Amino acid sequence: MSLRPGLLATAMLFALPLQAAPTALQCGDVFDAKAGRLIGAQTIVVDAGRITALQPGKVAVEGATTIDLGGHTCSPGWIDLHVHVGQESNPNSYSEGFRLDDVDFALRATLYTRRTVEAGFTSVRDLGGEIAPHLRDAINAGTIPGPRIYAAGKSIATTGGHADPTNGLNNTLSTLMGPPGPTDGVINGVDAARQAVRQRYKEGSDTIKITATGGVLSYARSADAPQFTVEEIRAIVDTAKDYGYTVAAHAHGDVGMRRAIEGGVTSIEHGTFMSDATMRLMKEKGTWWVPTLSAGRFVGEKAEIDGFYPEIIRPKARAVGTQIMATFRRAYAAGVPIAFGTDAGVSPHGDNAREFEFMVEGGMPANVALQAATVNAATVLGATDLGQIAPGFHADIVAVPGNPLADISLTRKVDFVMKGGQVVKPLAN
């Protein structure tokens, strides 16, 4: 059976996917992240997931679905460069791994991803967690709501270091598990360092995270001892470049930070005990700092609650909690390049915007804090189409009531979120 030409054309027309109408967002004000200032009322035209035009004033766009965001300031979707979407701190965190399966953590994480994107964080970098690549894929497939995830997968550590999965286990369990190696994210030496990066590539990671010093929440005494040689870090960085990866280095102690910077990492995470000399080195090398003030504040507060953390953790949490803000003040004044990150998962998911308030409390102007979570964070990711409201960029847009440059706490009152042209949090009414 054959169709006449007219019927054939009609059949082909109905076989094509329907194109959604463009969307016009009529914003009362817009934050120009590149310039770091408000540019007044604008109409943002969105089509096929991208921003196609930015027109001054409240403009009617023919054929477009119009969303009136008058009275709101529209910002590029915010980017949190340090989260752990597969977990969230609680008093049972140190025993749950023995009772729960990965699927239990993954189901919980669907709540965390929803909270995160509805809080205005349309992209995140997950720095350590085997669940994150799977959450990324589920979000990309539209199975669950959440932000765009850049996933590191398992962090890379050294034996006994922060992120060694056998820390805190008794001898019987350690013997049953056997010594962890590069597949488990534990390396000793240059060859193992290269293998660990290649394993992360095999597992589908988007970036690499190393633990260059001890950590607060690992079951070990030191939060700041250096845990890699410069040669090991350089081997990780060089191998990561082969796969187009950047490397983020968890580091609290100054010596470990300096080794990571000399080894060529893209960013230092936390940086609690950073010296003036290391600040100068970061400026010289162009190394980004992701301060995670939210996590410092959280662990400092929880360290005073009996039973929230094991006793081996509490002194470290107190020390970091009291120091991190002072370091931030010095580093910002010194001109260290700063990008936004919270360590959400240590602090609660969905409260990410508190970091803006802490940064302003530490002496950073509100517009610079917003730049840290937009253009700066996009630069760290190497994402040339995120972090701005401009033609060609992903249509990731957040709207808050009023002027966040006058009142930074408005970032915790998000009324509207669009991610990739899709409304994920509609305006009330």
Band of the pLDDT at 166, cuts 50, 70, 90?
low
> 4-8, 24-28, 248-252 — which is least confidently predicted?
4-8
Angle, alpha carbons 376-239-212 (nearest 5°) = 65
Q: Once rounded to an integer, what is the mean pLDDT over residues 236-244?
A: 97
Tell me the CATH number at 410: 2.30.40.10
Determine the pLDDT at residue 168. 56
The answer, yes or no, to whether residue 174 has pLDDT greater than 70, is no
User: Does a structural domain hold residue 161?
Assistant: yes
User: Does a structural domain hold residue 361?
Assistant: no
Nearest alpha-carbon partner for 325 in 302, 368, 291:
291
User: Does a structural domain hold residue 236?
Assistant: yes
pLDDT tens column, 305-317: 998 988 888 988 8
The answer, yes or no, to whether residue 16 has pLDDT greater than 60, is no
The answer, yes or no, to whether residue 65 has pLDDT greater than 50, is yes
Q: Once rounded to an integer, what is the mean pLDDT over residues 152-170?
A: 74
User: Does a structural domain hold residue 374?
Assistant: no
pLDDT tens column, 271-300: 999 999 999 999 999 999 999 999 999 999
Determine the pLDDT at residue 45. 98
DSSP state of 328: H
Averaged pLDDT of the chain:
90
What percent of the chain has a predicted confidence (pLDDT) above 90? 76
User: Alpha-carbon distance 266 to 269, whole Å?
Assistant: 10
What percent of the chain has a predicted confidence (pLDDT) above 70? 90
Band of the pLDDT at 172, cuts 50, 70, 90?
low
**Domain co-membership, 72 together with 82:** no
- Measured CA to CA in angstroms, residue 81 lies from 115, 128, 148, 214 at distances of 16, 12, 11, 20
**pTM for this predicted structure:** 0.91
Name the phi and psi angles at 407, rounded to 5.
-145, 95
pLDDT tens column, 108-130: 999 999 999 999 999 999 998 89
The answer, yes or no, to whether residue 320 has pLDDT greater than 90, is no
C-beta of residue 251 within 8 angstroms of C-beta of residue 214? no
C-beta of residue 65 within 8 angstroms of C-beta of residue 55? no
User: Does a structural domain hold residue 358?
Assistant: no
The number of helices, as runs of H, and strands, as runs of E, in the chain is 14, 17
Q: In which domain, by residue range, is 51 found? A: 20-77+388-425
Can you read off the two tokens belonging to residue 223? 């939060």
The answer, yes or no, to whether residue 69 has pLDDT greater than 50, is yes
Number of separate domains in the chain:
2
**Domain co-membership, 297 together with 397:** no
**Domain co-membership, 143 together with 287:** yes
Q: Where does residue 428 fall: left (phi above 0), alpha (psi -120 to 50 degrees), or beta otherwise? A: beta
The answer, yes or no, to whether residue 13 has pLDDT greater than 90, is no
The answer, yes or no, to whether residue 413 has pLDDT greater than 60, is yes
Q: Which residue has the tokens 């602090």?
A: 347
**Domain co-membership, 410 together with 279:** no
User: Alpha-carbon distance 235 to 64, whole Å?
Assistant: 52
Determine the pLDDT at residue 181. 78
The answer, yes or no, to whether residue 6 has pLDDT greater than 50, is no
**Domain co-membership, 225 together with 185:** yes
Determine the pLDDT at residue 418. 98
Determine the pLDDT at residue 11. 39
> 61-75, 190-204, 223-237 — which is least confidently predicted?
223-237
Determine the pLDDT at residue 96. 78
**Domain co-membership, 62 together with 89:** no
User: Does a structural domain hold residue 376?
Assistant: no
**Domain co-membership, 146 together with 53:** no
Determine the pLDDT at residue 15. 43
Burial class (CB in 10 A: 0-12, 13-18, 19+), 99: exposed
The per-residue b/e assignment along 376-412, b for 16 or more CB within 10 angstroms, e otherwise, is bbbbbbebeebbbbeeebbbbbbbbbebbbeebebbb
User: Alpha-carbon distance 61 to 83, whole Å?
Assistant: 38
pLDDT tens column, 330-377: 999 999 999 999 999 999 999 999 999 999 999 999 999 999 999 999
In DSSP notation, 266-298 reads SEEEE-TT--HHHHHHHHHHT-EEE--HHHHHH
